Copies of this chain bind each other. A is one copy, B any other.
Amino acid sequence: MEPAINTSQEDPARLSGPIEVDAELVEDISSLIETGQRGMVLNVLTDLHPADLARILSHLSKDLARDALEWLPADMGGEVLAELDDDFRAGLANDIPNERLTAMIDELETDDAADVLADLPLDVAKEIIGALEDAEDVKELLSHDEDTAGGLMATEFVAVRSDFSVADATEEVRAHADAIADIFMLFVVDGPGHLTGIVTMKKLLLSPATARISEIMNDDIVSVPTEMDQEEVARLMERYDLITLPVVDGVGRLVGRITIDDIVDVIRDEAEEDIQRMSGVAGGEEATDSVFRIMRGRLPWLLVGLAGASLAALVILSFEASLAAASILAGFIPIVMATAGNAGIQSSAIAVQGLASGDIWASDIKMRLRKELSVALLNGLVASAVLGIGILIVGPAFPAQVASPTQLAYTASTALLIVIVLATTIGAMTPLLLDKLGIDPALATGPFITTSNDILGIFVFFMLAEWLYL
């Protein structure tokens, strides 16, 4: 049996298997905890994987979750802590005695320990770190920004010298077998600790016991510096299909390793944050966040949107005479806004995504412009035709409001075509320009492009209406 800190596939005994983690289970556990049936609770919970346990805990009230967490064996409690959402974990940890927290965190690998500690109040974290076995390593990890390679890495790894024999190296693996859940490769370092090569487990297994590491190692290695941004680390591991990535300090000394399972979390988190940012939610909202925290994440963009829309309102107000002359024009405000917004979001989302993945380069600007203009013209012609025909059909039913359906159809179709071309171009080009200027193009998606396209669209429509319709 593997040691309990093992959360990898080497120990899938903890996978929930036949037990379904759902509302029913949560209710059952809830009432078991409430009635103090510790034995029964542990019976159910200790069969589950820590990731499932964490999900159950986040659906319990804080008091019950804390009880359950305190009842669990320290090793399992630690793993559950590591799996919980930051906010929920911080709330729980506040109510747990420091000695118990220390015992739980001591069971974790250094990267997880650092993550848990980073969310605790500073004085509590300091006290706990001092009492940890790996105090030095954890302190070192906490010194890195948590969104960098240094913040992601763990300090547990197997390092061997190039003059080791395969047998020596195997013993080194054995010495670390308990501390490291799963070992995918060995790192080769020189005297001062500089990374000089790697040896995969396959190579080690298949080489004769007397062979030297220097003969079997691969010295053409990819490593990243501690300060590399996690998004860049993710792109690198993803692009080159890496499972483990060594992290080095400023002078090339091996200081840690990042494994792909941590990167999977980064990719998922960044994707969720992208979607939230596009939806006007700041700061990474979690289901377990408090009402006040959710409000803080959402209010800013509601107010920015309100401000943008107020500008659009002022544009409309400036065409008040036209509106008074033909109030039918007000009906085109949502049509112009929705279409300008949609066309702009479409092209900007693609541009931002392409830039992030490296499929589009800022230098591709001419080629992108040609492509986007072609698409905008084609889509614009179709949408305008549909709108124009719609007006010709529906218009005559409102003789009091629509003086000349043909003229209105002509005006509205022309305006829509121009708006779609403008909005698509602005949506596609803004991210590329921002990228050229060194500004994160993701800032341009959603909210800002939509608002400016709304305002521009309304302006173009009323200008054309004054010219062609009135």
Q: A261-B241, A314-B331, A454-B334 are in contact. Are A202 and B201 (CB under 8 A)?
A: yes
Beyond A279-B348, A330-B330, A333-B334, 9 additional contacts (C-beta under 8 Å) are A201-B202, A237-B264, A260-B261, A267-B268, A279-B445, A281-B349, A298-B379, A309-B334, A323-B327
A7 CB–B CB distance under 8 Å: yes
Give Cα distance in the complex from A324 to B332, angstroms: 15
Are B301 and A342 in contact, CB atoms less than 8 angstroms apart?
A: yes
A44 CB–B CB distance under 8 Å: no
Are A59 and B361 in contact, CB atoms less than 8 angstroms apart?
A: yes
Tell me how many chains of this kind the complex includes: 2
A206 CB–B CB distance under 8 Å: yes
Give Cα distance in the complex from A245 to B205, angstroms: 21
Which one of A23, A200, A358, A360 has the greatest number of beta carbons of chain B within 10 Å? A200
Are B309 and A272 in contact, CB atoms less than 8 angstroms apart?
A: no
A383 CB–B CB distance under 8 Å: yes
Secondary structure call for the A interface: helix
Are B401 and A317 in contact, CB atoms less than 8 angstroms apart?
A: yes
Task: Look across to chain B and name the residue whose beta carbon is closest to the beta carbon of A58.
Answer: B359
A468 CB–B CB distance under 8 Å: no
Residues from chain B with Cβ under 8 Å of A333 in the complex = 316, 330, 333-334
Q: A203-B10, A342-B280 are in contact. Are A306 and B334 (CB under 8 A)?
A: no
Are B306 and A338 in contact, CB atoms less than 8 angstroms apart?
A: yes
Residues from chain B with Cβ under 8 Å of A278 in the complex = 275, 278-279, 349
Give Cα distance in the complex from A10 to B220, angstroms: 10
Task: Look across to chain B and name the residue whose beta carbon is closest to the beta carbon of A350.
Answer: B285
A127 CB–B CB distance under 8 Å: no
A185 CB–B CB distance under 8 Å: yes
A95 CB–B CB distance under 8 Å: no
Q: A206-B174, A239-B51, A378-B295 are in contact. Are A218 and B13 (CB under 8 A)?
A: yes
Of the A-B pairs whose beta carbons lie under 8 Å apart in the complex, a sample of 9, sorted by A's number, is A183-B201, A267-B268, A287-B350, A287-B359, A287-B360, A291-B374, A291-B378, A310-B335, A313-B332
Residues from chain B with Cβ under 8 Å of A337 in the complex = 309, 334, 337
Identify which of residues 276-317 in chain A touch chain B, using a CB-to-CB cut-off of 8 Å. Answer: 276, 278-281, 285-288, 291, 294-295, 298-299, 301-303, 305-306, 308-310, 312-314, 316-317
Give Cα distance in the complex from A276 to B350, angstroms: 7
Are A243 and B261 in contact, CB atoms less than 8 angstroms apart?
A: yes
